[in-house]
């Protein structure tokens, strides 16, 4: 059996003029999972069956990734377009509201959706992705600037694609190993699947267009105060995004819980799946009344 097979079902949906691939399992309230870079729906493999015990779980391939459509123009990746993708998925699945969960770039899209249509989002969970207003401030000084220097490289045309493709997509493997503290959680067979997904025709440019198209649209946007109950999960040893990027988030979110996970880098849901599942289930099922700015773990 392929690692891509499981208790879930593979399907496609058309949203905002884009054909998106997803896997789904379970019935009940909708839980929508949005992956980050350089992954695809598979990064949620250890969450889908657990969450599906009491919910309808849908893990998307975001536009530009794996089996979903891959527009090549960076302007197709401005935040407003990505928001329309997700709202269209919620509608297309026949739901009025959903629990929204996002990691890395999926987290940034989730922030955008929660701001755009707060009445459609029951709860928000963001993993390893700062609030957009905090990102614009770049707390952590030069250390965080150095961690984020790849953002400048990824703005360039064609060169990043060549670097990521070189050596049979060896850079994809390097990124996954470097950004994970609990490296045993991402096996060689898992890395091979991420490399295969990146090798899909047009995928590298699609993936990089989040840096070229989405990032500028986020930095240009003005963000107010979010009313959706929100939890953040963050690896204490994340080499990409320091914990300083969680500080002062309470200034922008009315109800906030933050959990910091030990022995955990950037790929939170893969490195500490049991803890992530616990925190997600608690948030989805009980939605504890956190005090504004309450860091609980």
d(CA 210, CA 60): 16
- Asked if residues 54 and 119 have their Cβ atoms less than 8 Å apart, the reply is no
Q: What is the pTM of this model?
A: 0.94
Whether 69 sits among the annotated catalytic residues: the reply is no
Contact between 231 and 259 under an 8 Å Cβ cutoff? The reply is yes
104 is catalytic: yes
Say how far apart CA 236 and CA 244 lie, in whole Å. 10
pLDDT 10s digits, 236-293: 999 999 999 999 999 999 999 999 999 999 999 999 999 999 999 999 986 544 333 3
Closest CA to 21 of 38, 9, 30, 5: 9
User: Which token pair is 65?
Assistant: 């990734």
Catalytic residue among 77, 211, 252, 279: 211
List the catalytic residue out of 35, 55, 99, 266.
266
Please give the average per-residue pLDDT across 35-47, as a whole number: 98
The verdict on whether omega for the bond into residue 38 sits within 30 degrees of 0, i.e. cis, is yes
- For residues 86 and 109, the answer to whether their CB atoms sit within 8 Å is yes
pLDDT value at 98 more than 50: yes
pLDDT, tens digit, 9 for 90 and up, residues 205-235? 999 999 999 989 998 888 999 999 999 999 9
User: Which runs of E-coded beta strand occur in 37-158?
Assistant: 55-60, 98-103, 121-127
| pLDDT mean across residues, the chain | 92
> Which of 61, 69, 85, 104 is labelled catalytic?
104
Tens digit of pLDDT for each residue in 158-181?
999 999 999 999 999 999 999 999
53 is known as an active-site residue: no
């Amino acid at each position: 059996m392929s690692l891509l097979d499981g208790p879930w079902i593979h399907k496609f949906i058309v949203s905002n003029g884009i054909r998106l691939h997803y896997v789904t399992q379970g019935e009940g309230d909708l839980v929508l999972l949005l992956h980050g870079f350089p992954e695809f729906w598979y990064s949620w493999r250890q969450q889908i069956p657990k969450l599906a015990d009491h919910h309808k779980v849908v893990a998307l391939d975001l536009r530009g990734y794996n089996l979903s459509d891959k527009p090549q123009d960076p302007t197709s990746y401005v935040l407003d377009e990505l928001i329309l993708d997700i709202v269209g998925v919620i509608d297309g699945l026949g739901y009025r509201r959903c629990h929204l969960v996002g990691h890395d770039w999926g987290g940034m899209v989730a922030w955008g959706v929660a701001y755009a249509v707060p009445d459609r989002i029951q709860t928000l969970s963001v993993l390893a992705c700062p609030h957009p207003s905090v990102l614009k401030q770049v707390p952590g000084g030069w250390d965080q600037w150095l961690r984020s220097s790849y953002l400048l490289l990824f703005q360039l045309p064609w060169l990043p694609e060549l670097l990521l493709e070189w050596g049979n997509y060896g850079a994809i493997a390097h990124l996954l190993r470097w950004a994970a503290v609990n490296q045993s959680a991402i096996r060689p067979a898992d890395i091979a699947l991420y490399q295969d997904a990146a090798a899909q025709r047009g995928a590298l440019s699609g993936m990089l267009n989040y840096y070229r198209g989405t990032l500028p649209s986020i930095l240009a946007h003005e963000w107010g105060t979010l009313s959706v109950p929100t939890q953040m999960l963050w690896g204490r040893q994340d080499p990409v995004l320091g914990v300083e990027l969680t500080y002062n988030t309470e200034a922008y979110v009315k109800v906030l819980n933050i959990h910091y996970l030990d022995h955990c880098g950037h790929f939170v849901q893969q490195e500490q799946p049991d803890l992530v599942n616990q925190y997600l289930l608690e948030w989805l099922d009980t939605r504890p009344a956190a005090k504004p700015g309450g860091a609980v773990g």
